[in-house]
Chain A
């Protein structure tokens, strides 16, 4: 069985500062990992995904994430926060043998002017 833990339900950063959103996963088989962003009253938009190729994954809007097997982590980062990054972010895990996505509880990012 897989699971995802997102540390920090709320994160605040200043505009221009580094964004770091944490995600740890549990999986007995090699995982596929995803980061989604959700703006108010909208669906989920895929930011990036790890599917066993390069461990450093670059996504849209300047976000990237690094898969670290030894730490079972897939933290999301962005060098410089923009006001438009304020949203809720979800980490999810799946595997090649399943179709379900298991989501974390989400992290709400607030960007301060």
Chain B
């Protein structure tokens, strides 16, 4: 299919381990977003890329969280020294255009469920 894909779908990590979550956006989509969805909550914005530029990382909860999109396509969200409060579903979304507006519907991937023990 031509949708947003994420891998792995499930990740279990021991507290203190580093993890890397991958997102493959829809081909040609300029914008890429990461959201964190805690259990029983709505998704919360983490960071935004326009092509390879990270234009907004205001939602990253700590400096243990790092995201990159080096070639303007695939993105990786890395969490260092994981803690139990990092347990959540991490959603990736992409949109065709840059910035906001009517034409920038976000398409979501299935998410990666991270469990930190």
Contacts and interface: CB of A to CB of B under 8 A. Distances in A.
Given A51-B102, A99-B99, A43 B109 contact: yes
A43 B108 contact: yes
Given A42-B110, A49-B105, A103 B100 contact: no
The 7 tightest CB contacts between A and B, nearest first, are A103-B42, A44-B108, A43-B108, A43-B110, A99-B100, A51-B102, A98-B100
B48 interface: yes
Contacts, number: 63
Interface of B: 4, 31, 33, 35, 40-45, 48, 56, 91, 93, 95, 99-102, 104-111, 113
Interface of A: 4, 9, 32, 36, 41-46, 49, 51-52, 90, 92, 94-106
B59 to A, nearest CB: 8
